[in-house]
Amino acid sequence: MNTTAPDPSRRDATGFSTARLEAFSDGVFAIAITLLVLDLNVPEPDSLHGESLAGALAHQWPSYFAYLVSFLVIGIIWINHHAMCALARRVDRRTLFANLFLLLTVSVIPYPTRLLATYLTAGDTDAHTAAAVYAATMVAMGLAFSLLFLSFTRDARALHTPVPRADVNAAMRRFSLGGLAYLATIGIAFLSPVAMLATHALLAVYYCFDQLAPVRRTPVTPR
Amino acid sequence: MNTTAPDPSRRDATGFSTARLEAFSDGVFAIAITLLVLDLNVPEPDSLHGESLAGALAHQWPSYFAYLVSFLVIGIIWINHHAMCALARRVDRRTLFANLFLLLTVSVIPYPTRLLATYLTAGDTDAHTAAAVYAATMVAMGLAFSLLFLSFTRDARALHTPVPRADVNAAMRRFSLGGLAYLATIGIAFLSPVAMLATHALLAVYYCFDQLAPVRRTPVTPR
Amino acid sequence: MNTTAPDPSRRDATGFSTARLEAFSDGVFAIAITLLVLDLNVPEPDSLHGESLAGALAHQWPSYFAYLVSFLVIGIIWINHHAMCALARRVDRRTLFANLFLLLTVSVIPYPTRLLATYLTAGDTDAHTAAAVYAATMVAMGLAFSLLFLSFTRDARALHTPVPRADVNAAMRRFSLGGLAYLATIGIAFLSPVAMLATHALLAVYYCFDQLAPVRRTPVTPR
Amino acid sequence: MNTTAPDPSRRDATGFSTARLEAFSDGVFAIAITLLVLDLNVPEPDSLHGESLAGALAHQWPSYFAYLVSFLVIGIIWINHHAMCALARRVDRRTLFANLFLLLTVSVIPYPTRLLATYLTAGDTDAHTAAAVYAATMVAMGLAFSLLFLSFTRDARALHTPVPRADVNAAMRRFSLGGLAYLATIGIAFLSPVAMLATHALLAVYYCFDQLAPVRRTPVTPR
């Protein structure tokens, strides 16, 4: 009889531990969310042309607004990613790729954020283009998150606790609802870029209310 | 009877483990503190106009000063964040959001640092504006840290050891004192930006003396 | 008699734990993959010269293409690095250096990516040069990965399970095949930079099919 | 009697676990080593003035040389930091600050690297200045590493195994020797910046030979 505790760093022979998936993902989330600050430009002293620094900073409000929304979005995705990973005991190669797709959509976010900050108050057409690119990135991100959720839950043996099919379906319905809202923001982008950004701030708050809650709260069976 | 040691990677069914909160936070702290180096500009050879490189570097002292103070501030926050996390066994969603707010204020620090480095020796008004923005960021950061501390200590069941209410109150009084000092630096910013920066260096040293010490040193009960 | 479970953070007295090797490597992989986004340029409003933003973005397709391929390449290396580290129980100093060489080739990838994005549609000769630099970086990366694999598998005592020599040889043959393909892309770079990039996308997909699978799937002996 | 294995995430009541110290340090090391790539400039197509890209890249050899040496230096520090942390069971607040000082000197390295790459082939005086700044950064880094080593070894109770005083003294003598060599490179910087850089490459190789080996190889007593 083996009374020695299992080595927690030992990997399951038939899959990958979630520990390193989370470590790598945490790294990408942390870097993407922190790189956003590079999108905030300090006005060059020579470019003020007599305007005060306070005035120049005030004119940069689109940068701050886009920064805040993107920070909130990445932060919420991280929290939900955290909740999702807590469901699984091990992951297979397919899940690693689904996760890589999500990380692609997350790590690219500083780019549409910079684009939107630059063009939010530019001429109409270009502001609409920048806003549509931003909204489309969010659609791709939402899609990637849903695919990853499906990948996490499809293999019941990999979960700490089997998640009832009904709960998965309910979560997917909520994701789909969010996905439709995300899609709608592409349309809003052509009406009002500022409204598009505000909608994403609201959607992030919506996702705060723990869309995964019913799944995660399934009582843990004794092990 | 189960004599096997608990799997340390298992999550508490009714909350989040602090492990991944710390991993993500460590990532953001580490990136924010390292991105500060991008704010140090190498003078372009063409822009020296006959001045020696040594002279040009010496003129950049505001960049080095701001870099050092911001590095120290982020480093001290990390150490105190470390001490605070050691108090908790698990965290709830509210704490994750309080932590996200702290990370927002930390990860934005490279921006006011760059702003201050650019304008510290510029004309009076703009230097005051830049210094006030820097000081206001620190106020927001101090506020976020206090909120996070409250969130960590409010749920006694989540702590390794219940922290006496008196100790929490004592810590909050010390935080408030620090918060008042932070607020005062906004005023100092309008008198002397350099003095404002020096005050933040001193405040960081003040926070070195382990403001959380009495709480953390509460004897650990046998488990 | 000591019935206490071993402290999982204890290091083997005769080598380094793989835990911190993985933590540091995950950090470098995560940062390199996320820094790629800084290579995506937002067109300056002043530089559009009457062109629409949508048109200017469409002209940047080489940047997006290079970004996607490099993201995929780094992601696949990470997944295979993950699989390789799962083989080992501890690593020696030689493996740390082999790993450092791999990290050098990975962390430099944003540079040839930026170079290729800038010159992919430039005049023929410079596009060929940029593409050859990109392909040569991938050759160096493939070489470093093979050296690291050899270093990981040469010391049988360091592995969770001894890997049969035949399996190591089979893996090395597959690596060599991939290495030859990588070398060939340097030639392709001089014919068509776009074809070179497409080939690397295909090679990344080839490496998706878990080149380490036979080694990793060796049944785990009872411990 | 408690037969349950200790929770590995539990912190020692009288100190900090080394786990999070290492996580934060690994983050800073990983980011600093990866940010070096931002110092490699892609020549602007407009700035070639008829020169081929291959020629322009060849002229950038100081950038590649400085990149390689700094990458090697940070990588070696990381490996030795790793070996040092393996000695300790817990660290006190003083060690956290000594570590923060080391991280300051490590995370600033991309700056003197960029400075040196820009001025290595510039006029004599400025090249000497840039080289001296680079060498001085390395002196500060070596000093910080020695302080951290002293801090790690001074509290015998915090070590997995008490390290004989003679071994600590021997390690400190080797550090001092290295420190003198580092100091000497400041002088070399004024003779030949290229020789200064080559010396640091050689010193990094010297430090490869595990200066901490005798300390680390002290047999582990049964626990």
* pLDDT tens per residue across all 223 residues of chain D: 333 333 333 334 446 677 778 888 999 999 999 999 998 988 888 878 788 899 989 988 888 999 999 999 999 888 888 878 877 777 887 888 899 999 999 999 999 999 999 898 776 788 999 999 999 999 999 899 989 988 887 765 566 666 677 777 777 787 778 788 889 999 999 999 999 999 999 888 777 665 545 444 444 333 3
pLDDT tens per residue across span A186-200: 999 999 999 999 999
Judged by CB atoms closer than 8 Å, whether chains meet at C8 and B5 is answered as no
Judged by CB atoms closer than 8 Å, whether chains meet at C27 and D22 is answered as no
Quick one: pLDDT band at residue A210, thresholds 50, 70, 90?
low
Please check whether residue B8 touches C, CB under 8 A.
yes
Q: What are the structure tokens assigned to C153, written together?
A: 């598998």
Contacting subunits of A (3+ beta carbon pairs below 8 A): B, C, D
- Give B-chain residues touching A23 at CB under 8 angstroms: 23
Choice among A107-116, B77-86, B94-103, C160-169 with the minimum mean pLDDT: C160-169
Choice among A110-119, A196-205, C6-15 with the minimum mean pLDDT: C6-15
- The pLDDT of residue C114 is 93
Mean pLDDT score of chain C: 80
Please check whether residue A71 touches B, CB under 8 A.
yes
* Chain length of chain B: 223
> Which residue in the set A19, A79, A220 is minimally distant from B9, CB to CB?
A19
- The pLDDT of residue A105 is 96
Radius of gyration in angstroms for the set of CA atoms belonging to chain D, rounded to a whole number: 21
> Which residue in the set A17, A111, A126 is minimally distant from C53, CB to CB?
A126
Higher pLDDT, C53 or C154: C53
For residues D116 and D131, is the Cβ–Cβ distance under 8 A? yes
Whole-angstrom distance, CA of residue A117 vs CA of residue A127: 9
Judged by CB atoms closer than 8 Å, whether chains meet at B6 and D9 is answered as no
Quick one: pLDDT band at residue B115, thresholds 50, 70, 90?
very high
CA dihedral of D65, D68, D71, D77, whole degrees rounded to 10: -90
What is the pLDDT averaged over residues B82-104? Answer: 84
Quick one: pLDDT band at residue B88, thresholds 50, 70, 90?
confident
Whole-angstrom distance, CA of residue C35 vs CA of residue C21: 21
- Give D-chain residues touching B36 at CB under 8 angstroms: 107
Judged by CB atoms closer than 8 Å, whether chains meet at B5 and C5 is answered as yes
pLDDT for residue A134 is more than 60:
yes
Higher pLDDT, C77 or A219: C77
Please check whether residue A54 touches D, CB under 8 A.
no
Choice among B11-20, B129-138, C128-137, D100-109 with the minimum mean pLDDT: B11-20
Quick one: pLDDT band at residue B92, thresholds 50, 70, 90?
confident
Quick one: pLDDT band at residue C198, thresholds 50, 70, 90?
very high
SS3 D16: strand
Q: What is the least distance, in Å, from the CA of C153 to any CA of chain A?
A: 17
Angle between helix C124-154 and helix C165-191 axes, rounded to 10 deg: 170
What is the pLDDT averaged over residues B40-67? Answer: 87
Residues of A (112-171) whose Cβ lies below 8 Å from B: 160
Higher pLDDT, A211 or B130: B130
Quick one: pLDDT band at residue C83, thresholds 50, 70, 90?
confident
- The pLDDT of residue D9 is 38
For residues B153 and B85, is the Cβ–Cβ distance under 8 A? no
- Give D-chain residues touching C10 at CB under 8 angstroms: 160
Chain D interface, mutation test: which of C100, C109, C134, most D Cβ atoms within 10 Å?
A: C100
Please state the separation of Cα B73 from the chain's center in Å.
6
Please check whether residue D107 touches B, CB under 8 A.
yes
What is the pLDDT averaged over residues C5-15? Answer: 41
pLDDT for residue A116 is more than 90:
yes
**pTM of this structure:** 0.85
Whole-angstrom distance, CA of residue D63 vs CA of residue D220: 45
What is the pLDDT averaged over residues A59-79? Answer: 91
- The pLDDT of residue C2 is 36
> Which residue in the set B5, B30, B40 is minimally distant from D5, CB to CB?
B5
What is the pLDDT averaged over residues B214-223? Answer: 42
pLDDT for residue C136 is more than 60:
yes
- The pLDDT of residue D222 is 38
- Give B-chain residues touching A91 at CB under 8 angstroms: none
- The pLDDT of residue D30 is 93
SS3 C34: helix
Alpha helices in A8-123 (DSSP H): 18-35, 53-59, 61-85, 93-107, 110-119
- The pLDDT of residue D214 is 47
pLDDT tens per residue across span C90-123: 788 788 889 999 999 999 999 999 999 989 877 6
SS3 B48: coil
Judged by CB atoms closer than 8 Å, whether chains meet at D122 and B45 is answered as yes
Higher pLDDT, A7 or A38: A38
> What contacts 24+ positions apart, CB below 8 Å, involve C146-151?
C146/C172, C146/C175, C146/C176, C146/C179, C147/C98, C147/C101, C147/C102, C148/C84, C148/C95, C148/C98, C148/C99, C148/C101, C148/C102, C149/C84, C149/C175, C149/C212, C150/C98, C151/C94, C151/C95, C151/C98
Mean pLDDT score of chain A: 80
Nearest chain B residue to A210 by CA distance is: B93
